[in-house]
Amino acid sequence: MITMVKGAPLVIKLLEGTQGIGVVLAETNQAAESVIQAFMGMKANIMVQEYIKEARGADIRCFVIGDKVVASMKRQAADGEFRSNLHRGGTASVIRITPEERSTAIRAAKAMGLRVAGVDLLRSNHGPVIMEVNSSPGLQGIENATGKDIAGMIIEHIERNAMPARKAPPKPKG
């Protein structure tokens, strides 16, 4: 796993973690091996990711509904922290995403079979990198940052796409 992400530094995540809990930055291969062994010894499901230094503790949350990014925000980690989660002291602000970032977020949600998703991207030297596709993203942070009613947009999407079209009752003959 360490070799697959080109070695340390790298990020190790518990798959069951939320809000940045269970996310570790391993700065050396030896530290990575120790953390992986510890998590595996606890029979935890983990994922190993390349550390994108040039992101400088920032990520982009794209909120996808259907085949559209309806909102996006930049999350910036607190000083001395690499995790940009708002629950870890990060801040959120509105951001304009590039067409490539928009396309990447939509394709990521579709690849996971999701009609509603929070897609977290990092800006890397080689283009947008998907960090996570969240099937149950929180709404509070993105609604506060963007001023958009994301919950209302989700409800509208469900009403448009999940409800069968109503047919008029048959006209009586005669």
Residues 72 and 91 in one domain: yes
- Do 46 and 60 sit in the same domain of this protein? no
Span 41-52, pLDDT tens digits: 999 999 999 999
Tell me which residue has tokens 């996971």.
112
* Domain contains 170: no
Q: What average pLDDT score do residues 123-146 get?
A: 93
Q: Please indicate, yes or no, whether residues 46 and 78 belong to a single structural domain of this protein.
A: no
Handedness of CA 30, 34, 36, 40 (dihedral sign): positive
| pLDDT-based confidence at residue 19 (cuts at 50, 70, 90) | low
Tell me how crowded residue 107 is: count the other CB atoms within 10 A of its CB: 14
**CATH number of residue 47's parent domain:** 3.30.1490.20
pTM of this prediction? Answer: 0.83
Residue 61: pLDDT band (50, 70, 90) is: very high
Domain that holds residue 26: 1-51
Judge if 89 and 153 occupy the same domain.
yes
pLDDT tens, residue by residue, 81-117: 777 777 777 888 999 999 999 999 999 999 999 999 9
Average pLDDT for 25-47? 92
Question: In this structure, are residues 4 and 64 in contact, taking their beta carbons and an 8 Å threshold?
Answer: no
Q: Give me the number of domains the chain comprises.
A: 2
Residue 67 included in any domain? yes
Q: Are 106 and 137 members of one domain?
A: yes
